[in-house]
Amino acid sequence: MSVTASPVKRAFKYRFRPTEAQAAELSRTFGCVRKVYNMALAARTQAWTRQERVNYNATSAMLTAWKKTEELSFLNDVSSVPLQQCLRHLQVAFTHFFGKRAKYPRFKSRKKSRRSAEYTTSGFRFKDGRLTLAKMAEPLDIVWSRPLPEGSKPSTVTVSQDAAGRWFVSMLCEDPGVQPLAVNSNVVGIDVGLDHLLTLSTGEKIADPRHERRDRARLARAQRELSRKAKGSKNREKARRKVARVHARITDRRRDHLHKLTTRLVRENQTLVIEDLTVRNMVQNRSLARAISDASWSQFRSMLEYKAQWYGREVIAVDRFFPSSKLCSTCGTLREEMPLSVRTWTCDCGTTHDRDVNAAKNLLAAGRAVAACGAGVRPQRSSPGGQSAMKQEVSRRKP
């Protein structure tokens, strides 16, 4: 039987087509949000050098003072809600920094940073399926690709524009349709890779779509055209948008595939066991960084974890130093060496293993041990430098 729980807050993202006036207003808002964020960060950084603490209330008072100056009077032309929200975001960034969960906050770049603004309930009006933002007379022309949950109203609205020039609005709503699923006894080990995106302990192999490789020629052509354009020209901006559209196409297909894949795995299995990989370190291998980034292991894990939380499932991360590839899943014998070229091998006990399936089975067994004893799995390091099986495979493929 399913277990009832409080509604999950979920973001619903849609494209919209702004009028010229709306696009101009949003562009001004994006610029003001970036300006206020950078000024507040600079003020807090200067206070930090003086060994002083500045919190959200202090930066909010600074914002009020800034608006009264002649130089920054243009901040009054946009809604104050996104400006206050960016100060709250800065406070969260510093909280994570002091909690040693993130690096020191960085300044927002005009060209590279995400163009976005967040509105709370006082900054928008949602009625009869029409969303109107503050400082705007007309509602946004939203492409309703799917309906919002019945009876739900957004608590926050985030408007953004990507590098390809597409406009998006994300609405955070309570979704009563997301409820824990019925408990089952299925447990699966998941080994990630490059030849196959995923290999399950059941023996199933899921191919890596290699979205970036499929569009690599188109992307290279667009980038060559961009390199020939004069800096600052309108033709260069058009060429830049063309490159951004190719990147957006790759990103959208990758995200769609991962959403479908993670949803299926979470629905079918009660417990999912993965390897705790440090992808940030692995992409330092220049010969494999592109393939690893295209596989998007970090995004896969993130989706798997939050969907498991939604539906009452459990995700277990096995220690990265666990030698899953070199351990016989039948008798437990540990091989000294396992070159990457070896895709199948026969153990002394007579069992012939597929390398990836064997690794997934070992992860499954390690996950069961974690669930049973409640402790992390960290066997003695067997590879030089203490590298995990996946990290070892990556390092051995260096040129």
3-class secondary structure, 322: coil
CA angle 216, 222, 248 (to 5 degrees): 65
3-state secondary structure 31-87: HHHHHHHHHHHHHHHHHHHCCCCCCHHHHHHHHHHHHCCCCCHHHHHCCHHHHHHHH
Q: Active-site residue 162, yes or no?
A: no
Question: Taking a C-beta distance cutoff of 8 angstroms, is the pair 123, 134 a contact?
Answer: yes
Q: Catalytic residue, from 25, 212, 275, 294: name it.
A: 275
Question: Taking a C-beta distance cutoff of 8 angstroms, is the pair 170, 13 a contact?
Answer: yes
Burial readout 54-92 (b: 16 or more C-beta within 10 A, e: otherwise): bebebbeebbeebeeeeebeebeebbbbbbbbbbebbbe
Cα distance between the two ends of the chain:
54
Residues 6+ apart with CB under 8 A from 32: 74, 75, 77, 78, 82, 83
Residue type, 204: E
CA distance 99 to 20: 43
CA distance 300 to 281: 17
The candidate with the shortest Cα–Cα distance to 208, out of 194, 222, 227, is 194
Q: Catalytic residue, from 191, 208, 212, 393: name it.
A: 191
- In the DSSP assignment, the letter for residue 26 is H
CA distance 300 to 259: 8
Q: Active-site residue 356, yes or no?
A: yes
Task: Count CB-CB contacts under 10 A for residue 386.
Answer: 12
Could you give phi then psi for residue 342, rounded to 5 degrees? -85, 105
Burial readout 160-195 (b: 16 or more C-beta within 10 A, e: otherwise): bbbbbeebbbbbbbbbeeebeeeeeeebbbbbbbbe
**Quick one: which H or E segment has residue 217?**
helix 216-228
3-class secondary structure, 130: strand
Q: How far is CA 94 from the centre of its chain?
A: 20
Name the residues annotated as catalytic: 191, 275, 356
